[in-house]
């Protein structure tokens, strides 16, 4: 769990700084999930978790193709489904959505404030820039929800 939380922190930082989630870190999260499934030794839980992860990846891929979600985000959500397991997946996805909504609203507010602050000075010198596309580092929301789910999910016996 400590390793996963550390990797999720690195992923969140990378997504904020470069809007990229390194594939190698996503692969480590997925491998930790596979290791957890092997250690628990429950073939029914493993089957359900694999199925849920595949479904999450499929939906993520569709959202990626539509331009709604980044490719790294889609892969990370599927890897987190492997790590968290099917029992905690709905709670994780709900928390991820809440974190993502707060993050998106924060970024939109920041962008609006920065545009208002700089609009007068750009017009004064005759520079008009094209509106830039706002992106949300959704890996931060995925990582935050993952950390909370890992901590809370491991706090209560199943």
- Does the pLDDT at position 124 exceed 50? no
Q: What is the pLDDT of residues 34-57, one digit of tens each?
A: 999 999 889 999 999 999 999 999
User: For residue 126, which phi and psi values (nearest 5 degrees)?
Assistant: 85, 15
What tokens were used for 13?
A: 């930082």
User: Looking up tokens 């996805």, which residue turns up?
Assistant: 93
**What angle (nearest 5°) sits at the alpha carbon of residue 150, between those of residues 155 and 101?**
125
**In whole angstroms, what is the distance from residue 142 CA to residue 19 CA?**
13
Per-residue confidence band for 121, with pLDDT thresholds at 50, 70 and 90: very low
Give the pTM: 0.83
Mean pLDDT value across the chain: 87
**In whole angstroms, what is the distance from residue 2 CA to residue 5 CA?**
5
Per-residue confidence band for 120, with pLDDT thresholds at 50, 70 and 90: very low
């Amino acid at each position: 769990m400590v390793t996963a939380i550390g990797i999720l922190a690195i992923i969140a930082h990378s997504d904020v700084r470069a809007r990229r989630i390194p594939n190698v870190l996503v692969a480590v999260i997925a491998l930790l999930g596979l290791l957890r499934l092997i250690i628990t030794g429950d073939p029914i839980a493993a089957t359900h978790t694999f199925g849920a992860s595949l479904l999450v990846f499929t939906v993520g891929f569709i959202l990626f193709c539509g331009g709604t979600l980044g490719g790294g985000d889609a892969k990370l959500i599927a890897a987190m489904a492997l790590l968290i397991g099917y029992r905690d997946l709905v709670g994780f996805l709900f928390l991820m959505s809440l974190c993502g909504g707060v993050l998106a609203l924060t970024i939109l507010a920041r962008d609006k404030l920065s545009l208002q602050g700089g609009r007068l000075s750009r017009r004064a010198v005759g520079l008009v820039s094209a509106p830039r596309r706002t992106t949300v580092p959704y890996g931060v929301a995925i990582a935050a929800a993952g950390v909370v789910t890992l901590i809370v999910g491991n706090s209560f016996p199943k």
